[in-house]
Amino acid sequence: MSAAPVPTNVPAAAGAIARLPVSLPQLAEKKRLGEPIVMVTAYDYPSAVVAEQAGVDVVLVGDSGAMTVLGYSSTVPVSIEEMLMLASAARRGLRTPLLVADLPFGSFEASDQQAIETARRFIKEAGCDAVKIEANGVAVERARALVNAGIPVMGHVGLTPQTATALGGYRAQGRTAQRALDVARDAIALQEAGCFSIVFEAIPAPVATVLMERMEVPIIGIGAGASTDGQVLVFHDLLGIRDGVGARFVKRYADIQDEMVAGVRAYAEDVRTQRYPEADHTYSIDPVEFERFRSELG
């Protein structure tokens, strides 16, 4: 479902050929044809514009934004209102990718009605095309209720950050036979509940490969090996806009934070040594007007 209006103010990539908005049937067709699906997170207008111009297929407004842009220590504290703000900003930066938003912790677990009301806000107020929920004790029930209410749902199994404490922390899942079976059951149940796609996070590659034989919907991996139908990374991780090395599955494609710090440091030095601003950075005034100004000023 891509019901949100297509923004007309989003800069297109130089030389880019106009693409139609990505739809759920297109994702299913990519799986059928074996065409890898590219997914990335975005949390505001600038990062969404980057994702648009880079030609990705799916943009996720992940609750990881709680940590990457809002400064929380985990994903748990982020509110519905904060997530709606981030999703709305991302929507304004997108023309083509499918836009999916995480339902934050505590916003869908209490009842089917709570889940539907929360999800509808992301569709109606933020213009999202779909929502994502993490596997937990009631996720399958909630996913089924959302799908029955006409709301596309992406599932999420393996490492689920919202319930990381119960899983023993931010660590790979499915590394024992029993835990691998648990992940498998979660994935199959979410598929049967009607999820159009499922994220596999931080599970052993051999486990993911076996599970792919049973998956009929597009599977997006993050730390799950190369057998999945697509991959997702956090915007700030892949561009190096963060401290530390990140999770094992992160591959850095740039070191933007280093460049940002260097740029701001150079600016600060120029200000302190009065090298900025120079004449090129100032505005002029007609000499006659300037003299009239001085005269009128007294």
First-to-last CA distance in the chain? 67
Contact between residue 218 and residue 31 where contact means Cβ atoms under 8 Å apart: yes
Candidate list 117, 201, 259, 269, residue with the active-site label: 201
Strand, helix or coil at 234?
coil
> Which whole-number Å values give the CA distances from 164 to 76, 135, 167, 282, 286, in the listed order?
10, 11, 5, 53, 65
Q: Tokens 């700030």 — which residue?
A: 236
> Residue 248: left (phi > 0), alpha (psi -120 to 50), or beta?
alpha
The verdict on whether 117 is a catalytic residue reads no
**Local structure of residue 129 (DSSP, 8 states):** S
Contact between residue 26 and residue 8 where contact means Cβ atoms under 8 Å apart: no
Helix axes 139-148, 112-124, angle to 10 degrees: 50
* C-alpha span between 240 and 73 (Å, rounded): 18
* C-alpha span between 134 and 198 (Å, rounded): 9
Q: Which residues are catalytic?
A: 201
